[in-house]
Copies of this chain bind each other. A is one copy, B any other.
Amino acid sequence: MARREFRTLDPPESAHDALAALDLTTGIESVPLADAHGRVLAERVDAPLDVPGFDRAAMDGYAVQAAATFGASEADPATLSIAGAVRAGEAPDVTVASETAVQVATGAVLPPGADAVVPVERTVESESTVEVVTGVAPGDSVTYRGADIAAGDRALGPGTVLGPRHVGLLAALGRERVPVRGRLDVAVVSTGEELVQPGATPDHAAGQIYDVNGHAIGAAVSAAGSRPTHVPRPSDDPDRLEDALADAASEADLVVTSGSTSAGTADRLYGLVEDHGEVLVHGVAIKPGRPLLIGRVFGTPYVGLPGYPVSALSVFRTFVAPALRAATGRPTPETATREATLATRVRYDGGRRRLVAVGVVPDGAGGHVAYAPAKGSGATTTLVETDGVVVMPAETSLLAAGETVTVDLFDETPVPAVLGVGDTDPAFGALFDEASTGRFLARSVDDAVRWFEDDVPDLLVAPTDALDAVAPDPVDRWARTWGLIVPAGSPAEIDGLAALTDVRFANLAESLSLREALDARLADAVEAPERAIDGYHRGLPGIESPARSVAAGRADAGLGLRATAERLGLGFVPIGTQTLGVAVNPDRAGKSSVERVTDRLADRLPDLLAERPGYDPVE
Contacts and interface: CB of A to CB of B under 8 A. Distances in A.
Interface in A334-386: 334-335, 375, 378-381, 383-384
A210 B198 CA distance: 48
A263 B105 contact: yes
Contacts of A147: 379, 541
A88 B211 CA distance: 13
A209 interface: yes
Given A199-B176, A215-B33, A90 B164 contact: no
Given A161-B414, A206-B89, A171 B215 contact: yes
Contact of A384 (B106, B120, B165, B333): B165
Given A37-B219, A105-B262, A334-B412, 14 more contacts: A1-B85, A51-B209, A54-B207, A88-B193, A108-B207, A150-B540, A152-B547, A157-B438, A164-B217, A165-B313, A167-B215, A169-B383, A174-B202, A331-B414
B212 A168 contact: yes
A303 to B, nearest CB: 16
A149 B381 contact: yes
A447 to B, nearest CB: 15
A164 B544 contact: no
Interface in A145-169: 145-169
A288 to B, nearest CB: 13
Closest 10 CB pairs of A and B: A150-B542, A152-B544, A168-B216, A89-B194, A176-B199, A89-B193, A159-B437, A163-B413, A53-B204, A164-B219
A594 to B, nearest CB: 15
Given A175-B198, A331-B414, A438-B157, A541 B384 contact: no
Given A37-B219, A216-B164, A172 B309 contact: yes
A208 B89 contact: yes
Interface string A191-233: 0111100111111111111111111111110110000001000
A10 interface: no
A222 B38 CA distance: 10
Contacts of A80: none
Nearest to A329: B437
A154 B91 CA distance: 66
Interface of A: 1, 3, 33-34, 37-38, 44, 47, 50-54, 56, 58, 60, 85-91, 103, 105-109, 120, 143-176, 192-195, 198-220, 222-223, 230, 260-265, 307, 309, 313, 331, 333-335, 375, 378-381, 383-384, 410-415, 417, 424, 429, 432-433, 436-440, 442, 538, 540-545, 547-548, 564
Contacts of A412: 163, 334
A169 B384 contact: yes
Given A164-B219, A380-B172, A153 B194 contact: no
Q: Is the interface of A mostly helix, strand, loop or mixed?
A: loop
B44 A433 contact: yes
B542 A167 contact: no
A135 B490 CA distance: 43
Contacts of A87: 1, 193, 262, 264
A295 to B, nearest CB: 23
Contacts of A89: 192-195, 206-208
Count identical subunits in the complex: 2
A261 B164 contact: no
A252 to B, nearest CB: 17
Contact of A545 (B150, B162, B195): B150
20 contacts: A33-B198, A58-B378, A88-B261, A89-B206, A90-B194, A106-B262, A109-B204, A151-B545, A153-B543, A157-B438, A165-B411, A167-B216, A167-B219, A168-B213, A168-B313, A171-B211, A171-B212, A173-B210, A174-B198, A335-B335
A326 to B, nearest CB: 13
A208 B52 CA distance: 9
A171 B193 contact: no
Contacts of A217: 164
B56 A207 contact: yes
Contacts of A51: 209, 380-381
A147 to B, nearest CB: 6
Contacts of A171: 198, 210-212, 214-216
Nearest to A150: B542
A263 B150 contact: no
A158 B437 contact: yes
- Residue among A107, A160, A194, A436 with the highest chain B CB neighbour number at 10 A: A107
A78 to B, nearest CB: 21
A39 to B, nearest CB: 11
Nearest to A316: B164
A262 to B, nearest CB: 4
A509 B439 CA distance: 59
Contact of A548 (B143, B152, B174, B411): B152
A545 to B, nearest CB: 5
A508 to B, nearest CB: 10
A143 B378 contact: yes
Contacts of A230: 34
A413 B166 contact: yes
Given A120-B3, A543-B153, A86 B411 contact: no
